[in-house]
A and B are shown apart, each in its own frame.
Chain A
Amino acid sequence: MTDLPRTPPRFSATFTPAVNAEIRRAAASGIYDIRGGGTKRHLPHFDDLLFLGASISRYPLEGYREKCATDVWLGTRHAKKPIHLDIPITIAGMSFGALSGPAKEALGRGATAAGTSTTTGDGGMTEEERGHSKTLVYQYLPSRYGMNPDDLRRADAIEVVVGQGAKPGGGGMLLGQKISDRVANMRNLPKGIDQRSACRHPDWTGPDDLEIKIHELREITDWEKPIYVKVGGARPYYDTALAVKAGADVVVVDGMQGGTAATQDVFIEHVGMPILACIPQAVKALQDLGMHRKVQLIVSGGIRSGADVAKAMALGADAVAIGTAALIALGDNDPKWEEEYQKLGTTADAYDDWHEGRDPAGITTQDPELFKRFDPVLGGRRLKNYLKVMTLEAQTIARACGKNHLHNLEPEDLCSLTIEAAAMAGVPLAGTNWIPGRNGGW
């Protein structure tokens, strides 16, 4: 009887060990899981697209001899002083508070050395960041922490943040552990409390009000600064159209792979759309309004390499923004801190409890002892290197497609590996001319 073979243990595809662990954690704690970063689920992404490259029907450019330009203008619609960047890869908004002062300094150093912009966050403008950033975008957020007209005027552009990809429709939170004296002072809050950032702006509701708000910001800054409007990737066609209607110079669309300093895991994983699905909708809105390339489009959420940059631009973006990738370039989640990650119950490349303020790499913390570990000069150099590599990679691909500027990449240069990606990106399935929902194909 005992010699009969038994059915081997079989795990449920629905109730996986990870799902069960979360059920147990919720049952024990009574509170939802909070973490940083973006979605960790598998999604249709840029990996599902490939470039076709030139052959007989297209003429490639010589990689080491022929020019492939990478510069981009942002804010040409209304601003007296539009921004000109050497590369179309910008640094996304990340707050002082979520990040340490030295980490913000490193972002400024790296971005400036690479010829691009960096962006403030939900905590106001720090001297470290302004001082080390040649081009700094100042976020105008619902919380208005630290908001003041002097910083508006010393910014190079203003980004009205309506939402972000990790949590479209959600506000922010910075838990008490990270509300140090300096953070509390900048945000005008008591030290050590859980700081909530509102999900809606306090003094405007809807696109008609937004138009008047943007007009006010232009008046305060004498129409000099480009004004971006950032939305989380949820209804990108309509949000882009409404942002254009409201007078935006630049629209920023952030897909659900975009990170956050901290929010509920259920929000990160279940709200929003992947960036691959957002870009074509945003581009279509701009095209339908006759504003493509007149109002610039920046996209973000899961950009990791020059290939991702090139694919985003081929789909019609003018530029991209990186956040998580920039932090990794600085040294976040580096295996050299593995022993300490283990003590926190995690491992390198999986650490996401940024809200707890105990980041072994000294980046997402306000603990002076921890952020001493982080060298902003070295961090800035690493970020510059990474940005340069991404740019070279994007140029390599663009030249192979016969393009002398990254902006000349086009959907025709792409094919899709999956039906899902073909449908979302509006790019034919490889080996066919089939775009699901658009044509019969062959």
Chain B
Amino acid sequence: MQSFDLGKEGLRALNSSLHALKGQTNMTAWEVINPKGAHAIAAGVDAPVDITVRGSTGYYCAGMNKQATIRIKGSAGPGVAENMMSGTVIIDGDASQYAGATGRGGLLVIKGNASSRCGISMKGIDIVVHGNIGHMSAFMAQSGNLVVLGNAGEALGDSLYEARLFVRGTVKSLGADCIEKEMRDEHYAILEELLRRGEADHKAKPEEFRRYGSARKLYNFNIDNASSY
């Protein structure tokens, strides 16, 4: 395993080394020690490598990740895995605001709680949160799946498009144009797969969830809906 002391060698050296792992590499296991809440740790990685960060991270850890599996053995600051394209990011602790924002692919797993605006404007990413999520989560979410084993805060899925939201606990309130929808076989299958990949299949079963999605009433402007905006 390649061990990298962030405190000694610095962020630029780390990200530069990780960006150099283009194409095939046999340096597939990396460990980052002493992260001390630094921002942009392992941002922009594009290689099928495993990176373990031993400690908590600042803003935008694993931003725009492609292919890599990144494990955070602590909590993550705002915007973790923002705009992720592919790969997997697993956080042992909690995640701050905007987790998985605008993510276009891959899987984000948060084993603790996620703060507000989790999955904001998500565009294809799958997010599994073992705990609760804060207010305004999945705002304008376009596609992908958000799975919450705990509860959701206010205004879940406000103005969302085609993303699927699965919540096991309570929802404090739904945002504009977000409604509860029927769970069909295809949704149970999606949930089963995501719970397994999200390392949560021992904690919850698909039939315990409710599904939320877009009523599609705000897709085209209508003056009669003005009070909803």
Give chain A's interface residues, CB within 8 Å of chain B. Answer: 29-31, 143-144, 147-149, 152, 175-176, 188-190, 192-194, 196, 198, 202-204, 209, 212-213, 215-216, 219-223
Contacts and interface: CB of A to CB of B under 8 A. Distances in A.
B19 interface: yes
Interface in B19-75: 19, 39-40, 43-44, 46, 58-60, 63-64, 66
24 contacts: A29-B223, A144-B121, A147-B83, A148-B83, A152-B64, A188-B104, A188-B143, A192-B220, A193-B220, A196-B159, A198-B140, A202-B101, A202-B121, A202-B139, A203-B78, A203-B82, A203-B97, A203-B117, A213-B60, A216-B43, A220-B15, A221-B44, A222-B15, A222-B19
A210 to B, nearest CB: 11
Interface of B: 11-12, 15-16, 19, 39-40, 43-44, 46, 58-60, 63-64, 66, 78-79, 82-83, 85, 97-98, 101-102, 104, 117, 120-121, 123-124, 139-140, 142-143, 159, 161-162, 219-221, 223
Nearest to A148: B85
A144 B83 contact: yes
Nearest to B60: A216
B83 to A, nearest CB: 6
Given A215-B39, A215-B40, A203 B161 contact: no
Contact of B219 (A147, A194, A220): A194
Contacts of A209: 59, 78
Nearest to B140: A198
Nearest to B44: A220
A219 B44 contact: yes
A28 to B, nearest CB: 12
Contacts of A194: 219-221
Contact of B64 (A30, A189, A220): A220
A190 B97 CA distance: 27
A29 B15 CA distance: 55
B221 A149 contact: no
B36 to A, nearest CB: 15
Contacts of B15: 219-220, 222
A380 to B, nearest CB: 32
Given A30-B223, A194-B221, A216-B59, A188 B142 contact: yes
Given A188-B104, A202-B102, 6 more contacts: A148-B104, A190-B162, A202-B101, A202-B139, A216-B40, A220-B64
Contact of A149 (B66, B98, B121): B66
Given A190-B219, A203-B101, A149 B79 contact: no
A143 B104 CA distance: 12
Most chain A beta-carbon neighbours within 10 Å: one of B97, B120, B219 = B219
B134 to A, nearest CB: 14
Contact of B102 (A144, A190, A215, A219): A144
Nearest to B162: A190
Most buried by B among A144, A189, A194: A144
Contact of A196 (B40, B46, B140, B162): B140
A248 B60 CA distance: 18
Given A144-B123, A203-B79, A222-B16, A212 B60 contact: yes
Given A212-B59, A219-B11, A176 B220 contact: yes
A226 B60 CA distance: 20
Nearest to B161: A189
A152 B104 CA distance: 15
Query: Shortest 7 CB-CB distances between A and B: which pairs?
Result: A220-B44, A203-B98, A193-B219, A203-B79, A203-B101, A144-B102, A149-B64
Contacts of B98: 202-203
A220 B79 CA distance: 14
Contacts of B59: 209, 212-213, 216
Given A203-B82, A212-B59, A213-B60, A219 B123 contact: no
Given A202-B102, A203-B102, A148 B12 contact: no
A203 B120 contact: yes
Contacts of B161: 189-190, 193
A202 B120 contact: yes
Contact of A31 (B12, B85, B140, B221): B221
A106 to B, nearest CB: 29
A204 B19 CA distance: 24
A164 B77 CA distance: 30
Contacts of B46: 149
Contacts of B78: 203-204, 209
Contacts of A221: 44
A213 B120 CA distance: 16
Contacts of B85: 148-149
A313 B43 CA distance: 38
A175 B219 CA distance: 10
